[in-house]
Amino acid sequence: MSTGVNPRTHAAEFRRCLLEVDVRAARALWKYVHPELPELENDEVTLVTLHMARTGAKSIPFKLRAWSHSWLTEHGLESNLPDNLRPRAERMYSRIVTAVGVSVMAMSESSKDLAVAIEKAMSDAVLECYAEGKTDPEVVKARMQAAREKIMKGD
């Protein structure tokens, strides 16, 4: 199916959309230039597509490619940035990694099973928080304490 639209004449606008991560313009341009192809489903899909395209496009300045690489990896998505450029990009935009430590000490041999149960309950509480997207340290700490109390009370 030919539309009579030459994608090459729209290359500058596509590049501008990549440089500026202009989601709405990119969706409209894609629909206009390639009506025979599936539409970009929504703004979120388009945003991911633009970042992936930026990481692979040699014509995009490295700083922007590195930023898109960082954005993609932080969202658990694959980047098209070549392997040889990744260390440099990761130095430019380092990631913050959060962690939670759970430690329970048994005061005697007879309380060892209780300590193991408390540690498991607290660890499960942390995993549940993260699965729900709740990463605020105060929320996680409160959930851990509630799990600990529940085991201590024998519930």
- Residue 89 CA to residue 66 CA, distance in Å, equals 5
pLDDT in tens, the chain (155 residues): 445 556 567 888 999 999 999 999 999 999 988 889 888 889 999 999 999 999 999 999 999 999 999 999 988 899 999 999 999 998 988 776 778 888 888 888 888 888 899 999 999 999 999 899 888 889 999 999 999 999 988 86
